[in-house]
Amino acid sequence: MGLYIEALIRTDPERLWARTQDPGQHQRWDLRFTEISHMPGPPGSAQRFRYATRVLPFLTVAGTGTSAGERHREDGERVSALRFASPERLSPLSEGSGYWRYVPTADGIRFLTGYDYRTRWGRFGTVADRLVLRPLMGWATAWSFDRLRLWCERDISPARSLAYALAEILLRVLAVAAALPFGPAAVLPAALAALLAPPSRRTPAARRCLRRPPGRPAATPSLLARLERP
């Protein structure tokens, strides 16, 4: 998989499973989606879903996908996998797939994901993905994972953590603005302090998540290979 994100979440496994597998709860913390909803399907088949992402105030792109999960495995882990696709030409992502792993440890649950996707728009899309979209997707996933961690560990709702994050950004901007009257010699240290100062414990931060596997990458779950493309 092209992107890897991991967070250590100290919470009850059932709570984490519910807040990641239930569409209504998932869309609350995941910055990448505006709406997620289940779609009806034949009994015994993989779960079908619809997703939508608002990329501009008046522009939303949508797609569909299939997902499946395993809650009771012999190794104690839980796994879910998905495939997704968007037919909309305005969507930079044409299709993709990924998985979530829930690995119990003595310190908490290693909640990790690996996913990748195909872009459209030819060479322009490939370049835009490498320079902008892929770094942005990695950051948004990591930020969202830490937002989920705060919700599970400290009961800080996704709405509250977003408000804390916006307030913190405003304070950092104001600190730089306050240094402007004193010239470049004051602005540069203020800007560096605003960029490098650690975030509040109540504020989600992508930097708290791992962006590379800590050891040898685990194999892609076999569950993913059994999922049909949407």
Q: List the 93-104 sheet strands across, edge first.
A: 3-9, 109-119, 93-104, 78-85, 59-70, 47-56, 35-39
Query: Residue 1 — pLDDT band, cuts 50, 70, 90?
Result: low
User: Mean of the pLDDT values across residues 130-139?
Assistant: 94
Tell me, yes or no, whether 20 and 74 share the same domain: yes
Q: Could you tell me if 105 and 173 lie in one domain?
A: no
When divided into structural domains, the chain yields a total of: 2
Distance from the Cα of residue 72 to its chain's centroid: 24
Amino acid, single-letter form, for residue 69: G
- Please, where are the H alpha helices in the chain? 13-21, 23-29, 122-128, 134-154, 158-179, 184-196, 222-225
CB 35, CB 21: distance < 8 Å = no
In a domain, 109, yes or no: yes
Contacts of residue 208, Cβ cutoff 8 Å, sequence gap at least 6: 7, 142, 146, 149
Same domain, yes or no, for 139 and 166? no
Residue 230: inside a domain: no
What is the extent of the structural domain holding 166? Answer: 157-201
CA nearest 115: which of 39, 24, 21, 224? Answer: 224
Q: Are residues 113 and 36 in the same domain?
A: yes
Measured CA to CA, the distance from residue 180 to residue 188 in angstroms comes to: 9
Q: Distance between CA atoms of 210 and 206, rounded to whole angstroms?
A: 9
The 10s digit of each residue's pLDDT in 192-223 is 988 989 999 999 999 999 999 888 777 788 88
> Is this model's pTM higher than 0.85 or not?
yes
Same domain? 71 vs 161:
no
Mean per-residue pLDDT, 70-88: 89
Sign of the torsion angle spanned by Cα atoms 30, 45, 85, 49: negative
Same domain, 147 and 161: no
Q: Using CA atoms, how far apart are residues 165 and 203, in angstroms rounded to an integer?
A: 5
Is residue 45, in this structure, part of any structural domain at all? yes
Q: How many CB atoms lie within 10 A of CB 154?
A: 13
Considering the domain architecture, whether residues 162 and 151 belong to the same structural domain is answered as: no
174 and 102 share one domain: no
pLDDT tens across 110-129, in order? 999 999 999 998 999 999 99
In angstroms, rounded to a whole number, what is the distance separating the alpha carbons of residues 191 and 194? Answer: 5
Both tokens assigned to 230: 């949407």
pLDDT band at 4 (very low <50, low <70, confident <90, very high): very high
